């Protein structure tokens, strides 16, 4: 029997496993997911843990309960991918053979990469980070908050500007907005990563007195002086620093010699086969595919990979292609949101800001568990 091994039980890996279990007969393939925690985490909810008192436990589910019964779940950390021998090695010594491998290991937060980061910065890119930020915001009575990113790429590119909007809304609700100066620093030539949407976000920032500085690529943080310095030579003071941590690709990819300089896995942007090995697929945050690192991208990519593996195992031509589709919602506070949908050929159309997309985001947050990991949508 053929063996399909999927590394990572996050958004992408779980959908691939469930779709394969639906499409392939049990005698056609054994499907195994390897995950180091066995917990599936809904990361878009981190923002609400920091800014809205969302309970952290609401964002975590047992991976076993999200997988179809016939999918085997192995709890363990993948430490080596032997692409020539078609084997994966786990930290406890287990070795898994595969006919097709799917790498869905997400991105790795690497706070050590920016001098001063660990001592000074807060973030909302992990459950623990979001809880710490929540406490610091509660204690904050006024002063200057800087919101920025340590480096690019990072997952969910709109999240930092969403956080700036959430901060404004948070302090407005607390009645001390006039005591808080919010300063957003962007590494790009504009505030928002997607150019067609930038004017909408700039308007929101102007209306809510969120200051911005562009071309600010962080070089270091001075925790004593409370200053963040840029490669461009600027130094910006802060009382509270909210900074998306540096990101790299998965450690096992790097250590197996399969990653690029950032540790990202070189992957064909249409077929989602890795460039060096046609029997290894990759999706989501761990790849170098030129789209936003997002759950939405992982979701759409998972369908292409599942179709291609079914075709491969049945000896049929694999014709499925990923078109670069990403769809996302941003919560701008005040019950207003925007949505964006785009692909390789079609940039997003500037969306109106309103209640409908705010509700869209809230709805997705609720129905995620029912619909997305199972691959129902
Ligand atoms: C604050 C925030 C807000 C976001 N908002 C949105 C949003 O609104 N919309 C959106 O589409 N996306 C959003 N995202 C991004 C989205 O969560 C990620 O892009 C998505 O989870 C990526 O899916 P993935 O399958 O590639 O990786 P992940 O979901 O991160 O899963 C990776 C899995 O691999 C496992 N793993 C890692 N290393 C190993 C190893 N060596 N061995 C075994 N297992 C391992 C991990 O335990 C994890 O379960 C947001 C992210 C953040 C942080």
Mean pLDDT of the chain: 97
pLDDT band at 187; cut points 50, 70, 90: very high
Other C-beta atoms within 10 Å of 230: how many? Answer: 18
Joined tokens for residue 216: 């600010």
Structural domains in the chain, sorted by start: 2-107+249-325 (3.50.50.60), 112-244 (3.50.50.60)
Mutation to probe ligand 1, out of 249, 285, 306 (largest number of atoms < 8 A from CB): 285
Nearest to 198 by CA among 314, 297, 310, 338: 338
pLDDT of residue 116: 98
**Closest Cα to atom 3 of ligand 1:** 44
Is residue 3 pLDDT above 90, yes or no? yes
The average pLDDT across 198-215 equals 97
Is residue 298 pLDDT above 90, yes or no? yes
pLDDT of residue 98: 98
**Closest Cα to atom 27 of ligand 1:** 106
The average pLDDT across 77-102 equals 98
> Taking the model in full, what pTM does it have?
0.98
pLDDT band at 351; cut points 50, 70, 90: confident
Is residue 151 pLDDT above 90, yes or no? yes
How many C-alpha atoms does 327 have within 13 Å on its Cβ side? Answer: 9
pLDDT of residue 103: 99
Q: How far apart are CA 44 and CA 308, in angstroms?
A: 28
The average pLDDT across 261-285 equals 98
Ligand 1 geometric centre to CA of 11 (Å): 6
Ligand 1 geometric centre to CA of 106 (Å): 5
Nearest to 130 by CA among 218, 190, 52: 52
pLDDT of residue 350: 78
Ligand 1 lined by 162 (C-beta under 6 Å): no
Mutation to probe ligand 1, out of 48, 294, 302 (largest number of atoms < 8 A from CB): 294
The average pLDDT across 90-95 equals 98
Q: How far apart are CA 254 and CA 265, in angstroms?
A: 8
pLDDT band at 372; cut points 50, 70, 90: very high
Tens of pLDDT, residue by residue over 155-183, are 999 999 999 999 999 999 999 999 999 99
Mutation to probe ligand 1, out of 11, 325, 373 (largest number of atoms < 8 A from CB): 11
The average pLDDT across 2-30 equals 98
For residue 376, count CB atoms less than 10 angstroms from its CB and return exposed for 0-12, middle for 13-18, buried for 19 or more.
exposed
**Closest Cα to atom 30 of ligand 1:** 106
pLDDT band at 53; cut points 50, 70, 90: confident
Ligand 1 geometric centre to CA of 27 (Å): 31
Other C-beta atoms within 10 Å of 364: how many? Answer: 20
The average pLDDT across 239-250 equals 98
Ligand 1 lined by 296 (C-beta under 6 Å): yes
pLDDT of residue 367: 96
Question: Is omega for the bond preceding 153 within 30 degrees of 0, making it cis?
Answer: yes
Q: Which residues pair with 145 in a beta bridge?
A: 182, 240
Q: How far apart are CA 163 and CA 51, in angstroms?
A: 8
pLDDT of residue 247: 98
Ligand 1 atom nearest 163 alpha carbon: 1
Q: How far apart are CA 318 and CA 352, in angstroms?
A: 39
HEC per residue, the chain: CEEEEEECCCHHHHHHHHHHHHHCCCCCEEEEEEECCCEEECHHHHHHHHHHCCCHHHHEEEHHHHCCCCCEEEECCEEEEECCCCEEEECCCCEEECCEEEECCCCEECHHHCCCHHHHCECCCCHHHHHHHHHHHHHCCCEEEEEEECCCCCCCCCHHHHHHHHHHHHHHHHCCHHHEEEEEECCCCCCCCCHHHHHHHHHHHHHCCEEEECCCCEEEEECCCCEEEECCCCEEECCEEEEECCEECCHHHHHCCCCCCCCCECECCCCCEECCCCCEEECHHHECCCCCCCHHHHHHHHHHHHHHHHHHHCCCCCCCCCCCCEEEEEECCCCCEEEEEECCCCCCCCCCCEHHHHHHHHHHHHHHHHHCCCCCC
């Amino acid at each position: 029997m053929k063996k399909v091994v999927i590394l990572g039980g996050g958004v992408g890996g779980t959908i691939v496993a469930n779709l394969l279990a639906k499409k392939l007969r049990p005698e056609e393939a054994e499907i195994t997911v390897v995950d180091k925690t066995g917990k599936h985490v809904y990361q878009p909810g981190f923002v609400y843990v920091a800014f809205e008192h969302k309970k952290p436990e609401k964002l975590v589910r047992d991976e076993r309960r999200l997988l179809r019964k016939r999918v085997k779940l192995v709890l363990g950390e993948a430490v080596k991918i032997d692409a020539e021998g078609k084997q994966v090695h786990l930290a406890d010594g287990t070795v898994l053979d595969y006919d097709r491998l799917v790498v869905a290991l997400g991105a790795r937060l690497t706070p050590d990469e920016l001098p001063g980061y660990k001592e000074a910065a807060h973030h909302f890119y992990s459950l623990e980070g979001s809880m710490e930020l929540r406490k610091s915001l509660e204690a904050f009575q006024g002063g200057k908050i800087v919101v920025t990113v340590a480096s690019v790429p990072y997952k969910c590119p709109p999240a930092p500007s969403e956080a700036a909007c959430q901060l404004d809304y948070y302090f407005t609700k607390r009645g001390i907005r006039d005591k808080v100066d919010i300063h957003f620093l962007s590494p790009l030539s504009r505030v928002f990563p997607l150019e067609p949407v930038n004017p909408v976000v700039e308007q929101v920032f102007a209306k809510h007195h969120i200051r911005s500085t562009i071309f600010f690529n962080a070089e270091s943080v001075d925790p004593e002086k409370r200053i963040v310095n840029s490669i461009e030579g600027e130094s910006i003071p802060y009382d509270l620093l909210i900074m998306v941590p540096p990101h790299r690709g998965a450690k096992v990819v790097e250590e197996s010699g399969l990653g690029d300089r950032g540790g990202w896995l070189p992957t064909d942007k249409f077929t989602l086969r890795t460039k060096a090995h046609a029997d290894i697929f990759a999706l989501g945050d761990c790849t170098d595919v030129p789209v936003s690192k997002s759950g939405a991208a992982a979701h759409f990519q998972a369908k292409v990979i599942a179709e291609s593996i079914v075709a491969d195992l049945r000896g049929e031509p694999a014709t499925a292609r990923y078109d670069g589709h990403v769809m996302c919602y941003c919560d701008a506070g005040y019950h207003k949101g925007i949505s964006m949908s785009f692909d390789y050929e079609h940039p997003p159309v500037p969306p109106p800001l309103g209640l409908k997309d705010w509700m869209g985001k809230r709805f997705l947050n609720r129905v995620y568990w029912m619909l997305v990991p199972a691959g129902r949508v």
